[in-house]
Copies of this chain bind each other. A is one copy, B any other.
Amino acid sequence: MKKPYSGIIWNPIELFSHQELTSEMIPELLVHQLNRAKIGSPFYRKKLVDLKIPDKRTILDLYATLPFTDKSELLADQQQFPPFGSNLPVRESKIQRINRTSGTTSEPLLLILTSKDVMNTYECGARCFYASGLRRHHTVIHCMNYCMWAGGYTDHGSLEHLGAAVIPFGVGNSRLLIETILRIRPQALHATPSYLTKLQEVLNQDFGLAPIELGLQLGLFGGEAGIQDSNFRRQIEKIWGFKAMNANYGSAEVLSMFGAECHERAGLHFMGQGVLYPTLIDMTSAKDIPITSGAVGELVLTNLVKQAQPLIRYRTHDLIEILSTDRCLCGRGSFRFKVIGRNDDMIIIKGINVFPTGIQKIINENLDYLNGQYVILINKIDPIDRFVVRAEVRPEMSEPRDFRSKLQSAFVAHLAVRPEIELIAEGTLPRTENKTKRLQRIL
């Protein structure tokens, strides 16, 4: 069984800076991967038909000129060449696992891993969970959906790879979940942040217990934005009594997990060292921009060693801000970042770019009166001229004076748009154990 590098770091590769990896390790892996893809993958043979792959001295300059890969191409390819598409540079008999994306915005994409791909996924997953404080002596209850999603079976594997004791739970049956926590008393929980609200209701109604009585010490979260917001985090840490960590940022298509925060909580560390080549592109021009402190752009990823479905210059559509490229106090050399939002989630309201995470931040600054459950309603089709924030209020509280107009002013001040505010009773909005869909085009 693998031992961690230190009490703080899982793998010594985490010590290297992005700069060091880019100059020393990435060029050679990139040349190999491009060659492999061009030879073995009909999908990339077509995309890279005119490409002469140079040696490792000039590969990085060439890289910025390569065509992007987008999810829509992968979907079209799987429809044309069912079931797995034409990006499979390995024999089908090497396939070890078949997952799928959630398919909320499109047909689900089938995701293929070989056993080597599985091991690399576990390795990066273990780095993330370890950074967020999970240790070998912990017991963790794993509450992600096991039915085909990478978060279920695959993240369970990462938790085990780290050496923790894992209770496979999945989603649904919150009563049994609470009974199991009360019986086994795990130290850690791995879930989506939005599941906490549902769990708190069941705890309260069926057990007459407060969340803190479960005795959890560590909440590992992923799959959704939310936990990076310090107001939301402060609130759930108070209610649950655990340390709430942003432990699981990733992209199902590229690598299940490659971002997590360490105990310094100074943003997500990039954890895909040796496995992924991350670059940034400008949101408007789609030109490459350097990864430097303060840079904002869309994250573009290339798999460096993936055998099945290797992706090259894959547009994640996640907009990130580089918080720092300096070595962190924890010792890790990787850059730290935060996720601003998805550029395909971005909405334009009367000419203003608005991200759902910006709206969430304002909701979370008003958790004295609001309970944190909300939806955003906008027009079915562009242009958007109606923008409604519908939020649940705490039942025990009476409405603070001028609450609605103060909330509207906060929106104007931070996002330059003025929503209609609808305040509704606690428990009105549907709860989910999976990812919550906050933005609804129904007006």
Interface readout for A122-166 with B: 1 if CB under 8 Å, 0 if not? Answer: 000000000000001101000000111000110010001001011
Please tell me if A338 contacts chain B, counting CB pairs below 8 Å. no
B147 touches A173 (CB 8 A): yes
Q: Are A160 and B96 in contact (CB under 8 A)?
A: yes
Asked, given contacts A83-B183, A184-B83, whether A166 binds B98 with beta carbons under 8 Å apart, the answer is yes
Q: Say if the beta carbon of A430 comes within 8 Å of chain B.
A: no
**How does the 8 Å CB contact mask read for A161-190 relative to B, with 1 for contact and 0 for none?**
001011111101100100010011100000
Asked if A93 and B152 sit within 8 Å, CB to CB, the answer is no
Contact status A146-B166, CB under 8 Å: no
- Give which listed residue, B110, B165, B185, contacts A97 with CB less than 8 A: B165
Contact yes or no, A152 B148, CB < 8 A: no
Question: Cα distance A92–B170 when bound, in Å?
Answer: 23
Determine if A208 is an interface residue (Cβ-Cβ < 8 Å). no
A residues 8-63 near B (Cβ < 8 Å) are none
Chain B residues with CB under 8 Å of A384's CB are none
When C-beta atoms are compared, the residue in chain B nearest to A82 turns out to be: B183
The answer, among B98, B115, B183, B185, for a CB contact under 8 Å with A184, is B98
- A309 at interface, CB cutoff 8 A: no
Residues of B within 8 A of A110 (CB): 183-184
Q: Does A1 lie at the interface of the complex (its beta carbon under 8 Å from any beta carbon of B)?
A: yes
Set of chain B residues within 8 Å of A185, measured between Cβ atoms: 83
Query: A99 in the interface, Cβ–Cβ < 8 Å?
Result: yes
A354 within 8 A of B: no
Nearest-neighbour CB distance to chain B for A95, whole angstroms, equals: 4
- Residues from chain B with Cβ under 8 Å of A139 in the complex: 95, 98
**Nearest CB of chain B from residue A101's CB, rounded to whole Å:** 13
List A390-436 residues whose CB lies under 8 Å from chain B.
none
| Contact yes or no, A166 B93, CB < 8 A | no
Contact A136 B93 (CB under 8 A): yes
Contact partner, A168, options B82, B148, B180, B183, Cβ 8 Å: B148
User: What are 17 A-B contacts with C-beta separation under 8 Å?
Assistant: A1-B115, A82-B183, A83-B184, A92-B137, A93-B137, A93-B163, A95-B139, A97-B165, A97-B168, A98-B139, A98-B165, A98-B167, A98-B184, A147-B168, A147-B169, A148-B168, A148-B180
Contacts from A to B (Cβ < 8 Å): 1, 82-83, 92-93, 95-99, 110, 115, 118, 136-137, 139, 146-148, 152-153, 156, 160, 163, 165-170, 172-173, 176, 180, 183-185
